[in-house]
Chain A
Amino acid sequence: MTLLGASGPAGLAVLPEEGCCLSHGELGAEVRALAAKFPPPGLLFCLCHNDLPTLLCYLACLDRAVVPLLLPGGIDKARLAGLLEAYRPNYVFHKRDDLAGISAQTILHCGEYGLYRTGDDIRHVLHPDLALLLTTSGSTGSRKLVRISRRNLLANADSIIDYLGIEAGERAITTLPIHYSYGLSVINSHLRGGAALLLSDRSIMERQLWAQIQRDGATSLAGVPYTYDMLLKLGIERLKMPAMRTFTQAGGRLAPERIRRVAESCGARGMRFYTMYGQTEATARIAYLPWQETLARAGSIGRPIPGGALWLEDPQGLRITQAGCTGELIYSGPNVCLGYATSHRNLALGDQNHGILRTGDLAIIDDYGYFTLVGRASRFVKIFGNRIALDEVESLLHEQGLSATVTGTDERLDVHLEGQLPDYDLQTRLAATLGVNPTAIAVRALPSIPRLESGKIDYASLAGILSPRDVDAH
């Protein structure tokens, strides 16, 4: 596995929040030392935090053909139990105080972490191409995993290095969790590009993160839309980040108005702002908008990454080439995952996708070859027979200056408004705009929209917030 070693061994690879820095040579030696003590190939659950032991475990797994499933360190116990039952891992790597009960026998200690046998001696049939398992984006409680190969990891890292121009002098601060495909892509692309990682487990709202950005000269930061909501609140012009050169954004839709605000602030500081698009099923990255285009084409996901192809298909599977016509976005490239798994029995499967991914996103293309998402194929509701794209309702509300998340069932549209209710009757006005009865719309103001650890909106818990009584009250 050659995520490591693309550059000279002397350059810095890892700068933690506290403790010693490691050069690429030293990191490679640490990984080999850990890998040498690893058990035979099998399945491992890694409960991740953005720190050195987690990074070493991930890299040692790749070195030793132990297949890791990367999970958040603070994973919900019931969810973990479901995954344990479905996948029956042989090993588990976690912070010693994170959990107990599934760790039958200690293999080794690594800092605050331990590598343990679970006591399940099942002999998994692991496909030789399988390198890594990740949870699907956004889903909660689901046991569905994405199967990723070595080739996927390397190809996507190389594409990202290419279009972002990652060189040895880059220092990325890890603002996204390592178990999340976008966060992991930052790790992979920087290590393979000979650049450095400033390891941090902090959020944008913590002073320790900003102290580290200043002290160690972070040059890039990756964020989901919510990260940028926070950065805009803090005021990008006023943040102390003297070496910062690049902001990247992916992981969901950032409203064009906000993209422009970020791009303008970045421009004023001489920084580049990339908006990008991807899915875990494509290892991470699918498309990006060159930073020079961000302001002019705010809201477009741009073009496919180097080595990939993008096109649109109509419901009959015919290719759409006409500008402005909506179709499902299809991606092809060497980073398209092998397929899904829903239990350990699927880990023997090889490549089921053959390099082609149906994204489930609806998009249009313009005359210059730039793609723009217009909705999610599956995020539709049908109210009194009216087909309504939830993303379009969100866009509509954003244009009115409201920060809202919209969920729905086939009987009702739920509008979750962040902050205060407007001084007009939003329910009636929205009903008129959409052409549906106001009783089918429920509006509620929340102090903040619930989010998953990745920063993505927690649709599952939002759906549970509005009770039928709230609807009657409107």
Chain B
Amino acid sequence: MSNKEKYDDIFIECFGLAPDQLGDKLAYRSVQAWDSAGHMGMIAAIEEAFGIMLETDDIIEFSSYNVGIEILRKYGVDLST
């Protein structure tokens, strides 16, 4: 499974989304399941899937699907494909 597929699966699984809901518009509070509890679960799933520990600022900045891709790049996780 590619990194991108893993990333997408986490959002689909954590927030109960359909694949076509992923993308530009997906952000904190844009879907009901992405609240503070959903955010905690999603961050934990990301950390586990990619074997990383996110910094405090990055957990708080992780405010959308797209921003997350940028943040993970800093940790050497390439989601370009």
Contacts and interface: CB of A to CB of B under 8 A. Distances in A.
B70 interface: no
What bracket does the count of chain B residues touching chain A fall in? 20 to 34
Contact of B28 (A205, A230, A448): A205
The secondary-structure label for the interface of chain A is loop
Given A235-B56, A238-B56, A419-B44, A206 B63 contact: yes
A226 B36 CA distance: 10
Given A205-B36, A205-B39, A207-B60, 15 more contacts: A203-B39, A204-B36, A205-B60, A206-B28, A207-B63, A229-B40, A233-B40, A234-B56, A234-B59, A419-B44, A447-B44, A448-B38, A449-B37, A450-B37, A451-B37
A239 interface: yes
Contacts, number: 49
B43 A233 contact: yes
A444 to B, nearest CB: 15
A354 B72 CA distance: 58
A461 to B, nearest CB: 12
B41 A205 contact: no
B36 A203 contact: yes
Interface of B: 13-14, 28, 35-41, 43-45, 55-57, 59-61, 63
A122 B13 CA distance: 49
A205 B59 contact: yes
A207 B44 CA distance: 18
A256 B4 CA distance: 39
Contacts of A38: none
Contact of A447 (B14, B57, B60): B14
A210 interface: yes
Contact of A448 (B40, B57, B61): B40
Nearest to A239: B56
A230 B60 CA distance: 11
Interface in A154-208: 203-207
19 contacts: A205-B36, A205-B40, A206-B28, A206-B63, A207-B63, A230-B36, A230-B40, A233-B40, A234-B56, A238-B55, A419-B44, A447-B41, A447-B44, A447-B45, A448-B14, A448-B40, A449-B37, A450-B37, A455-B36
Nearest to B34: A205
Nearest to A238: B56
Nearest to A458: B37
Which 10 pairs from chain A and chain B are nearest by CB?
A448-B41, A203-B36, A447-B41, A238-B56, A205-B39, A205-B36, A207-B60, A448-B37, A235-B56, A234-B56
A404 to B, nearest CB: 15
Which of A206, A235, A238, A450 is most buried by chain B, counting CB atoms within 10 A of its CB?
A: A206
